[in-house]
Structure formats: C-alpha cells, structure tokens
Structure 1
Amino acid sequence: MLFEVKVPTEEKFQVVDITDEIQHLVWKSDVTSGIAVVFTTHTTTGLIINENESGLIADIKAKMKELVPKGAGYAHDHIDSNAHAHIRASLLLNPEVIVPIENGELLLGTWQRILFIELDGPRHRKVLVKICKC
C-alpha cells in the first residue's frame, strides 16, 4: 500500500517528527509483519532516524550549517540561492528510511523517531510511505 503524508513546514531549516503519522498508516494498512519505506520526494529535504530531543536537534542543525554554510560561492546559487540546502541533503541526509514492522508496530528503538528535515522552507512537502507485507 502506498500512502502520502503532507508535511507543511514553517521555517527555513526545520525538523519535523513524522513517526506518529507513519505508525497510523501502518495500523490503517493492517500489515502486521513487513517494512515501511518512507521516502521524501524533494531534493532539499531528507529523512533520518534519531532522537527528537531539542538539544540534539539544535546540535544537528548547527553542525550542518558549519559543514555546509549558506552563501559559500556555490555555482548553483545563481539559480535560486539554495545550493547549501541541496548539498546538505545530498551529503548528510537520506531521501528514504526503512523501518521493520512486527505485530502492527514500527520496530523503532526506545528513543528512535522518524525525522523529516526541511532545508529550504517554508514549503508544503510530501512524503511517500510504502507499507510492504513480508
């Protein structure tokens, strides 16, 4: 089953926890054993599995800005000044995450959450979720 999750963002650089939405889709699908493939369809966004703790989120954002600063003379910036967002997404993030499902539940660790990372917002984004039965 393929689902779409709408992720509206309100900030230029934002982390959005989408775990609960994905879990609800698993329940809706009635798949008790399988995998959830979560995929962002945007080149200036990414997905990670990590802890949704404010200090950690601040650290991740700060390190990404340090490693790939905005306005560092990137060739792509002549188009729309968002090369840093594309580079951060392609070098530091994934367009997809895969999570096992067992007994109708996402098999995430105690602190693990599925995090959508917006790098060029605010925008109306979408994430595709494929629930596969195994």
Structure 2
Amino acid sequence: MGATLKIVTKQLRVSTSSKFQLVDITREVERVVEDSGVRNGLALIFAPHATAAVVLNEREAGLIEDIIQKIVEFTEPGHSKWRHNIIDDNAHAHIGSALFGQERVLPVVNGKLVRGTWQNIFLVEMDGPRRERSILITVMGE
C-alpha cells in the first residue's frame, strides 16, 4: 500500500509595529510542520498581501537593519514618480512585494522543515504598521 497524502493548512496572524519590519516566523512555521504529521513533503509559506513579502535569511540585528535599509532605498517610498501613490501612497510596498515574492516553498524531511543553518523565515512588512497580517502555511506530503 502506498502512503496517504496529507494536506494541512494553518493560518498565522502577526501584527507589525513599523512601516518596514522583518518579523521572524520561523518557530511558528516549524510548529505547524511538526503538528501536521507530514513526514516527507513540502511546506508552502504564503502571505496573502499585496504589500508584504516572505523571505529567508539570517536573523542578525545588523543584517535585518541592512535589509530594511536596502528595501527602502530600492523601493523609494513617497517617490513622486510612483503613479499608484496618487491612490494610496504605498506604491513602494506593492513593488517590493511583487519583486521579493509573497511565498516560499521548503522541503519537509523526516517530519522537520529543512532550512539552511542561517535561514530563518521572515514576513517582510513594507506598509505598516498593521494590526494583523496573515500567513498561510500549507504542509503537503506523506
């Protein structure tokens, strides 16, 4: 008999306190994977927002500040050339989300999320502060 495919989806909710912020959600994602009962498969981490992103990187205070600084430089908040700013004044966040991506897919092996030694999972806030941001985690496998 073949193994049974499991699909488990959980929603995380986080609040942000700054216009730009990296929120480490690694432990929460790992907990969802472990609780799913999936031994081998994939985990999709998805932020259903047009002004946020999901990235993997090291959790080191200086690096986090560097990443935020580069996102600000790259997306140019408040820049007069962004036509969308006429509507919401958040074109920078939409551009950042489109370029950095709202999702990451990671392997699950032997019931554990596989990530590199220095890879933590972050929600990237680019249009905060927000009372609530959602992150969907779907774990699929056997």
Query: Does TM, normalized by the shorter one, top 0.5?
Result: yes
Structure number with greater Rg is 2
Give TM-score, length-normalised by structure 1.
Answer: 0.95
Check if 1:32 corresponds to 2:21: no
72, 95, 113: which one pairs with 2:120?
113
125, 129, 132: which one pairs with 2:133?
125
After superposition, give the CA deviation of every residue in 1:27-63 in whole Å (9 maximum; x if it has no partner): 1111111110010000000001111111111111111
Match in the other structure for 1:77: 85
Q: Which amino acid aligns with 2:109?
A: E
**Alpha-carbon distance between aligned partners in 2 of 1:68 and 1:128, rounded to the nearest angstrom:** 25
Q: Which amino acid aligns with 1:3?
A: K
Check if 1:103 corresponds to 2:110: yes
Match in the other structure for 1:10: 17
**Alpha-carbon distance between aligned partners in 2 of 1:35 and 1:87, rounded to the nearest angstrom:** 28
Aligned residues: 133
**Alpha-carbon distance between aligned partners in 1 of 2:60 and 2:19, rounded to the nearest angstrom:** 19
5+ residue gaps, structure 2: 1-7
* SS of 1:88 mapped into structure 2: helix
Check if 1:59 corresponds to 2:59: no
Give the Å deviation of 1:104: 1.1
Give TM-score, length-normalised by structure 2.
Answer: 0.90
* SS of 1:86 mapped into structure 2: helix
**Alpha-carbon distance between aligned partners in 2 of 1:113 and 1:94, rounded to the nearest angstrom:** 16
Give the CA RMSD over aligned residues: 1.0
Q: Which amino acid aligns with 2:41?
A: G
Give the Å deviation of 1:25: 0.5
Give the Å deviation of 1:70: 1.3
